[in-house]
Structure 1
Amino acid sequence: MQKLCIFVFMTLFSYLGWYLGSLIGGFMTAFFVSGACSMVGVWAGWKIHLRYLD
């Protein structure tokens, strides 16, 4: 269940980062913001799992 939470939150945060990055700049900005946000999504999914589903 932990891997599923991490995957879902990583995907959602990555998409959000890509969208925000594309508003700010071009492809490379969207790529880097998406990567940073996906790491935040990994952390958020892990914390949600520990706090609510463990």
Structure 2
Amino acid sequence: MSQKTIVMILMGIGVAIGAILPFLWGAGDVLGGMPILSGFVGGIVGIWLGAKVVKRIR
């Protein structure tokens, strides 16, 4: 698996988790600002985590 693939997979997982979190605490509708914002933050965290994982594998 390539390094880019690992980062992209973890980014996707981060976006998904970030977008779902507002629904768990009842703070968002589907197209509201909070799920979009937290999905963005989750994507950034996923990219950061993916970079850490790739660096550890190398």
Aligned length: 53
User: Residue 44 of structure 1 corresponds to which residue in structure 2?
Assistant: 49
**Greater Rg, structure 1 or structure 2?**
2
Deviation beyond 3 Å, 4+ runs, structure 1: none
TM-score, normalization: structure 2?
0.81
Amino acid of the structure 1 residue aligned with 2:48: W
Gaps of 5+ in 2: none
Q: State the identity as a percent.
A: 25
CA RMSD of aligned residues (A): 1.1
The structure that is helix-richer by fraction is 1
TM-score, normalization: structure 1?
0.86
The residue matched to 1:22 in structure 2 has which SS? helix
Match of 1:32 among 37, 43, 48: 37
Gaps of 5+ in 1: none
